[in-house]
Amino acid sequence: MSSANHAAIELDDVWYAYDRSHFVLQGIFLAVAQGSALAIVGHSGSGKTTLLKLINGLLTPSRGLVHLFGNGVNGDAQLNGARARVGYIPQQLGLVRSATAVQNVLVGALPRVGDVASLLGRFPPEEIALATRLLELVGLAGRAGEKVHRLSGGERQRVAIARALMQKPSILLADEFISDLDDETAYEVMDLVEGIHKEGVTLVMVTHDFAMGARYAERAVLLHRGRKVTECKASELRHAESALPP
């Protein structure tokens, strides 16, 4: 059972290799307190996306354990239940461009609603109402029926946020999903994520932008070539960066 005493996320000596010859994550220990905000920073290829996929159960560690709220998520049987509580905003968003905003948001309800509804494209009215409300929350009132390919970059990020919220997540993982936006829109979208975090959702954001990490996270973890080299206050990130090997 989940418990208030447990960390939201705990990694215990986690290793990961896509192929047997090379561990792209090595010996990662991590504890993310419930309701906190963590930034994961590091150069391209350092293992940030892999780490998020291990947290949400899209990947299973080669060695070591991942716990969410005290429950192990390494067994396949537990995977769906655990993953349902983890809202994930991938770097490439993964929206269906030919579908409408509200159809994309409803994808977040699939763990609850099941495959049959998804095949038929039928969702219970209360789920459609929730999806519509979430689109309003992210500033897309009246755009629910718009096809995603007609939305701007910032609007698409908002749809992806609404889809993650549709999972009713207790943890939100955001993978550099604002990096294609201009600064002003990026901060607007992050303010939205910050508001969600302040409602009590544990936030883990991957970013290469140290200012962004310092502004929106409390703690920071620095990855370098698959190893965690530092964990510090997010406000101390700049010093940590200068300690990195090139």
Where do contacts with ligand ADP occur on this chain (CB under 6 A)?
Answer: 18, 24, 42, 44-50
For the CB of residue 26, give the shortest distance to ligand ADP in the complex, in Å: 11
DSSP sequence for the chain:
---TTS-SEEEEEEEE-SBTTB-SEEEEEEEE-TT-EEEEE--TTSSHHHHHHHHHTSS--SEEEEEETTEE--SHHHHHHHHHTEEEE-TT----TTSBHHHHHHGGGHHHH-HHHHHHT---HHHHHHHHHHHHHTT-TT-TTSBGGGS-HHHHHHHHHHHHHHT--SEEEEESTTTTS-HHHHHHHHHHHHHHHHTT-EEEEE-S-HHHHHHH-SEEEEEETTEEEEEEEGGGHHHHHHTS--
108 binds, among ligand ADP, Mg ion, none (CB under 5 to 8 A by kind): none
In the complex with ligand ADP, which residue's Cβ is closer, 50 or 56?
A: 50
For the CB of residue 201, give the shortest distance to ligand ADP in the complex, in Å: 22
Q: Is 50 in the site for Mg ion (CB under 5 A)?
A: no
In the complex with Mg ion, which residue's Cβ is closer, 48 or 158?
A: 48
46 binds, among ligand ADP, Mg ion, none (CB under 5 to 8 A by kind): ligand ADP
- In 3D, which of 115, 149, 153, 113 has the Cα closest to residue 131? 113
In the complex with Mg ion, which residue's Cβ is closer, 48 or 83?
A: 48
Q: Is 46 in the site for Mg ion (CB under 5 A)?
A: no
For the CB of residue 220, give the shortest distance to ligand ADP in the complex, in Å: 14
Q: Is 207 in the site for Mg ion (CB under 5 A)?
A: no
Q: What angle do CA 54, 208, 65 make, to 5 degrees?
A: 15
Query: Residues 6 or more apart from 143 whose CB is under 8 A from it?
Result: 101, 135, 151, 155
For the CB of residue 144, give the shortest distance to Mg ion in the complex, in Å: 30
169 binds, among ligand ADP, Mg ion, none (CB under 5 to 8 A by kind): none
For the CB of residue 17, give the shortest distance to ligand ADP in the complex, in Å: 9
**Other beta carbons less than 10 A from residue 150's beta carbon:** 11
Q: Is 103 in the site for Mg ion (CB under 5 A)?
A: no
Q: Is 49 in the site for Mg ion (CB under 5 A)?
A: yes
The window from 15-23, 27-35, 48-56, 94-102 that contacts Mg ion (CB under 5 A) reads: 48-56
47 binds, among ligand ADP, Mg ion, none (CB under 5 to 8 A by kind): ligand ADP
For the CB of residue 99, give the shortest distance to ligand ADP in the complex, in Å: 26
Q: Which residues bind Mg ion (CB under 5 A)?
A: 48-49
